[in-house]
């Protein structure tokens, strides 16, 4: 076990040496020095040969060149970085978008070996024909055209052999480098590259799992089953595995070849409208969208239909987020900024306790008004995107990954529209789909469905609650848990209750005293009667003195009680 661990560490060190050489080659040697942290005998950092940096060392172009030279994993990481305009400055994002996921194809015998190992039989038995030349080659997979024994023309996408192992090794190095960068550079602590590596790790293995992509194709085929203008390729499951995807081949013209489209009698503007309708349905009807609609992934068939291919990157939206995005579209299209603000709040994008919503609304109006009523040809897609990211950065808005994917898809969709010379406004085009989605949310069937779902949640909680209470009480009885009950706000209640009882008691005593005094004065029995010459009273008894005294005391206390109650405002 120790031998294999040491071997893995040795391979990692070798790969790190390659990375260090590439960094030094592109003038990033000082970065290597900080990461390695080596020092000479006097405690000064050891200078690495060729490590001197030129002005503009962290220029976007240098970073792109480094990532390209480091290979597939780092190219994919750079492509992910290009979607995070909420983290990286605009000039870096723009440069990283130039990363090309095209590499020389690997030799056909290596691809043939993967096919035969996965499908457990010779390729000659699997395919009637299999082109040895790659139709397309990317960093993690390449595509070959083939024909099945039944005559079906297919595209065979094969994961490059050994790529999974290499990606895992590179991810371990990415974590190491991210940790060093965060500890060695102030900018590293701000950007938190380790979080980016986590996101990359979560997405890259899904992207290179052909079974996941095949499932995405099936979902799209089901969603567009009633469409006569969008074509989704059929998946041949008998030939599909984790490393191989065999699907129907879609022949046609790449969407950006406008002159070729016109030569075949196809109207580019109509193709743009099909694309906008398709995007609107994905966004506001299905909640599942193709997140990489560039020209290479969008084929215009010779009969005028639009075929979507390469479903490695997709995005999801739940029902609530779909409704809020529909409200956002309607708010923009109708200049209704209150609706926009409500939609942003409902989507959880804004924190009304931490943010100045009035300032945000003013900035939102300033950003948005300049784009109203303009066609795709007159809008700079980069300006729209940059303005949205500017607001996100200024107000510290955390954008979820799927929303960032949606923004990128929005940009790519409009870019395709401009290539196709479309003058359609995406906001206006999407408006009827947004209204339909909002209306759907209030349909009786939808309401009852939501009520039923909430009722199931309540039923589930009611079912498990007795068991939870039993477990808690059992733990308490064994002394493993302690239950503390705190109450607040009853202090004044106690004081007021005590005062009320005291007044009631005084009132009862006063009543009893008055009755006693009256009985004493009216009593025929005289105790200790003696002569008094004062005020001509003649004779007076002790009982009379006690009765009068009782009357005086009760009268004084009664007046005091009335005054106290009157002052309390409770009379």
Catalytic residue positions, numbered? 292
- Judge residue 415's burial from the number of C-beta atoms within 10 Å of its C-beta, 0-12 exposed, 13-18 middle, 19 or more buried: middle
Alpha-carbon distance of 272 to 266, in angstroms, equals 11
186 and 149 Cβ atoms separated by less than 8 Å: no
> 158 — alpha (psi -120 to 50), left (phi > 0) or beta?
beta
Alpha-carbon distance of 260 to 275, in angstroms, equals 18
Alpha-carbon distance of 11 to 57, in angstroms, equals 29
Q: Dihedrals φ, ψ of 311, to 5°?
A: -105, 30
Among 411, 436, 438, 440, CA closest to 426? 411
Within 132-209, residue ranges assigned H as helices are: 163-184, 186-191, 193-207
Alpha-carbon distance of 68 to 155, in angstroms, equals 27
DSSP-based three-state secondary structure for 298: strand
Would you state the structure tokens that stand for residue 411, as one six-digit string? Answer: 């940009």
Alpha-carbon distance of 158 to 243, in angstroms, equals 6
Alpha-carbon distance of 542 to 66, in angstroms, equals 116
Residue reference for tokens 């009320």? 500
Alpha-carbon distance of 158 to 115, in angstroms, equals 8
Separate counts of helices (H) and strands (E) for the chain = 22, 13
Neighbouring residues of 536: CB distance < 8 A, sequence distance ≥ 6: none
Within 10 A of 303 (CB to CB), how many other CB atoms are there? 11
- Angle, nearest 10°, between helix axes 401-419 and 426-441? 140
Specify which residues 299 forms β-bridges with: 254, 307
How many Å separate Cα 516 from the centre of its chain? Answer: 81
Among 289, 290, 277, CA closest to 318? 289
Q: Dihedrals φ, ψ of 152, to 5°?
A: -70, 130
Alpha-carbon distance of 245 to 190, in angstroms, equals 40
Alpha-carbon distance of 302 to 251, in angstroms, equals 8
């Amino acid at each position: 076990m120790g031998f294999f661990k040491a071997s893995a560490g040795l391979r990692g060190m070798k790969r790190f040496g390659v990375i260090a050489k590439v960094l030094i080659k592109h003038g990033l040697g000082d970065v290597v020095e900080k990461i390695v942290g080596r020092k000479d005998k006097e405690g000064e950092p050891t200078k690495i040969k060729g490590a001197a940096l030129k002005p503009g060392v962290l220029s976007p172009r240098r970073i792109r060149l480094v990532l390209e030279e480091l290979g597939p994993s780092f190219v994919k990481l750079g492509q992910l970085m290009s979607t995070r305009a909420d983290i990286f400055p605009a000039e870096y994002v723009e440069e990283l978008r130039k990363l090309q996921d095209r590499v020389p194809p690997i030799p056909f015998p290596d691809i043939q070996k993967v096919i035969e190992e996965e499908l457990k039989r010779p390729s000659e038995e699997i395919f009637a024909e299999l082109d040895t030349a790659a139709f397309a080659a990317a960093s993690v997979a390449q595509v070959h055209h083939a024909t099945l024994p039944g005559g079906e023309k297919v595209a065979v996408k094969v994961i490059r052999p050994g790529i999974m192992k290499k990606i895992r090794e590179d991810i371990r190095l990415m974590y190491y480098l991210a940790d060093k960068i965060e500890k060695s550079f102030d900018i590293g602590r701000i950007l938190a590259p380790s979080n980016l590596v986590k996101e990359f790790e979560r997405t890259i293995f899904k992207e290179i799992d052909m079974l996941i992509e095949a499932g995405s194709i099936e979902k799209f085929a089901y969603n567009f089953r009633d469409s006569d203008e969008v074509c989704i390729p059929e998946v041949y499951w008998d030939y599909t595995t984790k490393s191989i995807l065999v699907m129907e081949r879609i022949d046609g013209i790449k969407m950006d070849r406008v002159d070729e489209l016109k030569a075949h009698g196809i109207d580019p503007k109509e193709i743009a409208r099909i694309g906008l309708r398709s995007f609107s349905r994905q966004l506001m009807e299905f909640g599942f969208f193709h997140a990489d609609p560039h020209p290479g992934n969008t084929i215009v068939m010779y009969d005028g239909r639009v075929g979507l291919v390469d479903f490695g990157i997709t995005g999801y939206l739940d029902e609530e987020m779909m409704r809020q995005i529909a409200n956002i579209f309607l708010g923009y299209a109708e200049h209704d900024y209150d609706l926009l603000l409500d939609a942003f709040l409902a989507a959880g994008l804004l924190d009304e306790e931490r943010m100045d919503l009035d300032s945000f609304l003013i900035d939102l109006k300033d950003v948005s008004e300049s784009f109203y009523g303009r066609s795709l040809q007159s809008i700079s897609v980069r300006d729209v995107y940059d303005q949205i990211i500017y607001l996100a950065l200024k107000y510290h808005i955390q954008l979820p990954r799927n929303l960032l994917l949606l923004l990128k898809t929005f940009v790519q969709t409009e870019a395709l529209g401009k290539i196709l010379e479309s003058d359609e406004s995406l906001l206006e085009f999407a408006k009827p789909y947004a209204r339909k989605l909002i209306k759907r949310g209030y349909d009786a069937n939808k309401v009852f469905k939501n009520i039923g779902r909430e009722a199931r949640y309540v039923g589930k909680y009611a079912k498990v609650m007795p068991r939870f209470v039993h477990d808690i009480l059992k733990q308490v009885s064994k002394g493993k848990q302690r239950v503390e009950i705190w109450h607040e706000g009853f202090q004044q209640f106690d004081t007021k209750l005590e005062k009320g009882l005291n007044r009631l008691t005084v009132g009862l005593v006063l009543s009893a005293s008055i009755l006693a005094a009256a009985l004493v004065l009216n009593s025929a029995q005289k105790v200790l009667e003696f002569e008094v010459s004062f005020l001509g009273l003649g004779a007076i008894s002790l009982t009379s003195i006690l009765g009068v005294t009782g009357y005086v005391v009760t009268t004084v206390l009664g007046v005091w009680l009335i005054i106290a109650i009157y002052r309390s405002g409770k009379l």
